[in-house]
Structure 1
Amino acid sequence: MQPQDYEFFRNMLLEMKNEILAKGESTLEDMSEDVEVYADPADRATAESDRAFTLRLRDRDLKLVKKIDEALARIEDGTFGICEECGEEIGLARLKARPVTTLCIQCKSKQEEEEALLKR
């Protein structure tokens, strides 16, 4: 991988992280302003369900932020783009699609096949 590739992915990851954090701040602001009283219990239940769904999404986002931070650390230590399983380079197309990945497409496919067999 070329130095400009590392810079491209560093910028991509930082942009992803900033977007997620901004969404989280927006969600907190929206939820703190949302103090409606519902006359109909069904409306209240719908609002609570929507709120729970939004919180689950933000929780997933926080897990992604952790993966982004780990990917940024791999860029710094020079292991970014190297498959943790086989040690081969991860293709640029795969990294562009999922920059937090730690496995090449072959190892990820193998992992998914093993997981599918265990579920049977």
Structure 2
Amino acid sequence: MATAASEEIDVLEKAKRVIGPDYVPSEDEPYMNEKQRNYFRMLLLEWKRSIHDAAGQTLQSLQDGPIREPDLNDRASSETDWGIELRTRDRQRKLTGKINAALRRIDEGEYGYCEVSGEPIGLKRLIARPVATMTVEAQEAHERREKISRDD
């Protein structure tokens, strides 16, 4: 069974293929120009659509009927699989909120800039993680502060 992170990467790669190879943001052009904003908007919308499609398939499977495995071990295994599936969908539901927030930032002209420092996040990071809100440095500092507060 694929992990949630690998599923997220697969979905993102599929979204990039749907958008097409016609345009890929480049460091040679002005940062967060209209073409780049449109690229990321299309990427985020396609990512969101694929998440909704997967959720619809899960819902349909749940509606098709209860688990009717005659063997107790098979039933337990099926229930475990369903539990994992539902946790994955919950994680994707939360991701949909982040996608919506990223789309809102695109509309407001704030997308691509760190919410802490105001510096550009960078195209490579945004291509890898389109919902990123901080630069790598700001994210690392945030995670260090979280770790310190957890350790206290």
Instruction: State the match for 2:143 in structure 1.
Output: 112
Give the 5 Å matches for 1:4-83.
4-83=35-114
If the length of structure 2 is used for normalisation, what is the TM-score?
Answer: 0.75
Deviation of 1:115 (Å): 2.2
Higher relative contact order structure (alpha carbons within 8 Å, sequence separation ≥ 6): 1
List 4+ stretches of structure 1 deviating above 6 A.
Answer: none
TM-score (norm 1): 0.93
Q: CA shift at 1:114, angstroms?
A: 1.9
Q: Which runs of 5+ in 1 are unaligned?
A: none
For the aligned residue pairs, the C-alpha RMSD in angstroms reads: 1.2
> Relative to structure 2, which stretch is displaced further, 42-51 or 110-119?
110-119
Bigger shift: residues 92-101 or 33-42: 33-42
Alignment partner, residue 122 of structure 2: 91
In structure 1, what is the Cα distance between the partners aligned to 2:67 and 2:118? 54
**Following the alignment from structure 1 to structure 2, what is the Cα–Cα distance between the partners of residues 103 and 115?**
15
1:10-55 deviation per Cα after TM superposition (whole angstroms, max 9, x unaligned): 0000010000000000111122224342222111111111111100
* Structure 2 unaligned spans of 5+: 1-31
Quick check: which one's helix share is greater? 1
User: Aligned pairs, how many?
Assistant: 120
